[in-house]
Amino acid sequence: MSEFTHIWFWKKWLPERKGQKCRILVTGTMNSVLLEFEDGYKVVTIRYGVRRLSRGAGEQGSRGDF
């Protein structure tokens, strides 16, 4: 299995998921993606709702902290 390399960014849609790690399982047409969150929840949404985690996301002051 691949690692969780992205983070859910949008608060307007799925506000309870904002800041949670996820991974992209499948990309589709019109910027659609199938995401899986760490707890196994899957959702189809548009690509703009996720951001890639930076390499040092766990370090203080890194750009990946939200």
Short-list 31, 59, 61, 17, CA closest to 6: 17
Position 19 confidence tier, pLDDT thresholds 50, 70, 90: very high
6-8: strand order across its sheet: 42-46, 32-37, 21-27, 6-8, 50-52
* Residue 65 pLDDT > 50: no
Over range 18-38, report the average pLDDT.
94
Partners of 42 in beta bridges: 36
pLDDT attached to residue 1: 54
What pLDDT is recorded for position 54? 84
Q: What average pLDDT does the segment 15-35 reach?
A: 94
- pTM greater than the 0.85 cutoff: no
